[in-house]
Amino acid sequence: MRQAALIYSDDLATHILSEEHPMRPVRLSHMHELASASGFLDAPNSRTVAPRPASDDELALAHTTEYVEAVKKLDIGEGHDVAARFGFSPGDNPVYPGIFRAQALSAGSAMVAAEQIAGDVDVAFAPAGGLHHAMPNRASGFCVFNDPVMAIRSLVEKGLRVAYVDIDCHHGDGVQHAFYDTDAVLTISVHESGQFLFPGTGFTNETGAGAGAGFSANLPLAPYTGDEDYARAFDAVVPPLVNAFKPDVLVTQLGIDTHMLDPITHLRLTAQGFAGTVAKLGALAQESGKWIALGGGGYDLGAVARGWAMAYAVMTDQDIPDRIPESFASPGNSTDHLQEFADPQPPEPEGAVRSQISAFADRSVEQLQMLLFPRFGIS
């Protein structure tokens, strides 16, 4: 039975980006409440570990000193004249009081996860992490500090090979950017195609450069892709590449903005489809023995609560009950769907559209198999 750690405290869930912003950190407390009410945190192989703020040296694993100092100034109400230069704006990446403290704590949760797997923990889940868009000197896509890059670099510095699998609906561009020219890290991103969704990258021909040529894999999918096509494409690409790479550690970004109720994306996964993918990642992690799981996107509060609670049940080898505990109060937006963990299957698209969605997935798979499988000797 895997030993698991949930990296969590209520301090992670208290800040507000803006009243209108779709990223609502309170979603973390809803997930924690549901996992607790369902008994997932009571398992003998589960522990809850408090996060800590990332240090300046840890932030430097992913970011320039100039950028980190700029965020510190914004935290105390200074430096607004240069905020735009570092990617901050009233829309996606607003400045708010305490921004450095809040984001350093979120990033630090991923570093604590990395520390936990160095001991007797097999899987560490930091749901506040997974902020995969931030660049070395720029905030991007709701992300200030790129904690996946920080955690992965800390592992690579120890001589470990890392496979990173990102299932957020958005392409993990910041992580790809960081490791595009190295063969120490395999990055795989399964996402809605950049033809239709921010950040507009993550196409199959983005396969790495220099020493990293062939170590970047992108599996773009069409809008309205559902559980069946998603699973088929995932199975055809992700397990073969991860198994061929033979990582020492699997790092995953578990964004649940792929959910059919998410308000800003277009894939159509159910909560059980998401949990099934997490279970497949868990099986891959058994090979390496160590697994760091990070959060990411997810903008329907009910879907986040269910999806990440289910993910932690998978990590701790627990059965997921059919019903949501009556003691759990719905966080709403999807209040009508919180009586059960599983979703009703959404209606299938009309025939021609359904065929186009499947064909899109098949093309992406075929292109990746042609571009990358020979590099790893996969037939």
Please answer whether residues 251 and 203 qualify as being in contact, where contact means their C-beta atoms are separated by less than 8 angstroms: no
Residue 155: exposure state from Cβ atoms within 10 A (0-12, 13-18, ≥19):
buried
How far is the C-alpha of 357 from the C-alpha of 266, rounded, in Å?
12
Provide the pairing of β-strand 162-166 with 249-253. parallel
With H, G, I as helix, E, B as strand and everything else as coil, classify residue 171: coil
Peptide bond into 247 cis (omega under 30): no
Please answer whether residues 175 and 148 qualify as being in contact, where contact means their C-beta atoms are separated by less than 8 angstroms: yes
Contacts of residue 375, defined as CB under 8 A and 6 or more positions apart, other chains included, come to 213, 214
Strands (E) located in the chain: 4-7, 46-49, 123-126, 162-166, 185-192, 216-221, 249-253, 291-294
Contacts of residue 235, defined as CB under 8 A and 6 or more positions apart, other chains included, come to 280
| Residue 21 a catalytic site member | no
What the block records as the tokens of 98 is 């305490």
Q: Which amino acid is at 163?
A: A
Q: Tell me which of 32, 63, 132, 133 is the catalytic residue.
A: 133
Contacts of residue 150, defined as CB under 8 A and 6 or more positions apart, other chains included, come to 54, 58, 59, 61, 62, 107, 110, 111
Q: Which residues are catalytic?
A: 133
